């Protein structure tokens, strides 16, 4: 019972994301002192055909956390700058077509996770017409676990060339991390080499099953 309520409450804001405009979603949530500045940043994103949802999310996040007004506005502005940088990168990787908003948002998120523009551009170029989120997150995962960025990118490009796409590229990063954690003092390079030898047959990550739980009092 409670789980269903949770799902309903989670679903409601998601529906609101699609239905309400940015101004409506920010009203009452963002401090009035920051609202005008944030509105103008969002308007700038819309005028430049950049995705505005990351800015709305950043404003809601900062407001929920009680971030002071100046830092809140700066956080949203920083996101806008990251989106602009992302669009330049997408434009370079896909010169013959307008940058899709989803690509721009995914690249912006990858930059926020610490991937270098050069790595991002290279990964985009490998499969420009595929959703870039999975491969970018896989690369960011490997870099976060201190794998050499270029070697990690090489591995992901090879995995893609051997037929792995989408979520399966995340499995490559997971497999490399597992190899690193095996007993025997394996180095990062060794771990990447082991995974490369497995390609394209890296283990598939387990998808969490549907929620099953005991009915408890009050639930």
Residues at the interface with another protein (CB under 8 A): 1-4, 6-7, 9-10, 12-14, 16-17, 25, 29, 57-58, 60-65, 67, 71-72, 74-75, 78-79, 102-103, 105-106, 109, 112-113, 130-134, 137, 140-141, 144, 165-167, 170, 205, 207-213, 215-216, 219
Q: How far is the CB of 103 from another protein (least distance, A)?
A: 7
User: Are 22 and 52 a contacting pair, CB within 8 Å?
Assistant: yes
Nearer to another protein, 28 or 197 (CB): 28
Nearer to another protein, 197 or 211 (CB): 211
Nearer to another protein, 176 or 197 (CB): 176
Nearer to another protein, 12 or 46 (CB): 12
Nearer to another protein, 162 or 197 (CB): 162
The secondary structure of the chain as a DSSP string is -HHHHHHHHHHHHHHHHHHS-HHHHHTTTS-HHHHHHHHHHHHHHHHTT---HHHHHHHHHHHHHT--HHHHHHHHHHHHHHHHHHHHHHHHHSTTSPPPHHHHHHHHHHHHTT--HHHHHHHHHHSTTS--HHHHHHHHHHHHTT--HHHHHHHHHHHHHTT--THHHHHHHHHHHHHHHSTTT--HHHHHHHHHHHTT-PPPPPPPPPP-----TT-
Pull the structure tokens for residue 125: 């170029």
Nearer to another protein, 140 or 157 (CB): 140
**Phi-psi map region of 101: left, alpha, beta (phi>0 left; psi -120 to 50 alpha):** alpha
CA 67 to chain centre: 22
User: Are 140 and 111 a contacting pair, CB within 8 Å?
Assistant: no
Nearer to another protein, 56 or 157 (CB): 56
Q: How far is the CB of 50 from another protein (least distance, A)?
A: 15
């Amino acid at each position: 019972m409670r789980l269903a309520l949770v799902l309903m409450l989670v679903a409601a804001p998601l529906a609101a994301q699609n239905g309400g405009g940015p101004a409506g979603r920010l009203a009452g949530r963002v401090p009035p002192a920051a609202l005008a500045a944030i509105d103008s940043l969002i308007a700038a994103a819309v005028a430049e055909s950049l995705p505005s949802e990351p800015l709305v999310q950043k404003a809601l996040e900062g407001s929920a956390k009680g971030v002071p007004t100046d830092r809140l506005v700066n956080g949203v502005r920083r996101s806008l700058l990251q989106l602009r940088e992302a669009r330049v990168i997408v434009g370079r990787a896909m010169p013959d077509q307008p940058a899709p908003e989803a690509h721009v948002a995914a690249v912006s998120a990858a930059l926020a996770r610490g991937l270098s523009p050069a790595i991002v551009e290279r990964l985009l170029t490998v499969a420009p017409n595929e959703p870039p989120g999975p491969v970018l997150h896989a690369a960011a995962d490997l870099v976060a676990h201190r794998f050499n960025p270029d070697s990690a990118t090489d591995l992901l490009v090879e995995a893609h060339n051997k037929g792995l796409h989408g979520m399966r590229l995340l499995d490559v990063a997971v497999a490399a991390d597992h190899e690193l954690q095996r007993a025997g003092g394996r180095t990062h390079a060794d771990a990447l080499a082991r995974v490369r030898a497995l390609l394209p047959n890296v283990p598939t990550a387990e998808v969490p099953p549907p929620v099953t739980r005991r009915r408890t009092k009050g639930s």
